Amino acid sequence: MNLREGSTHVQKEAAAFLQHSIEYSRQLTDKPLLVRMDAGNDAIENLNICLNEQVDFIIKRNLHRE
């Protein structure tokens, strides 16, 4: 995880971090993985990574966009 300025959007570089985290987690365990993210990360890109990598996920919806 990186420290960022408060004006940096939470989704910046999140997809690459998510992909790397899943790959690294698979090196540590062969158990099923669960990804949990906050509403700032409810981007379709993150959903697609979770689906493609076949991990379970809980991502809070950002209701301000609806």
Contacting residues for 43 by C-beta, under 8 A, at least 6 apart: 11, 14, 15
28: its two tokens: 């540590």
What mean pLDDT is predicted for residues 42-66? Answer: 88
Contacting residues for 28 by C-beta, under 8 A, at least 6 apart: none
**10-27: pLDDT as tens digits:** 677 889 999 999 999 999
Q: What is the pTM of this model?
A: 0.77
Domain boundaries along the sequence of the chain: 14-65
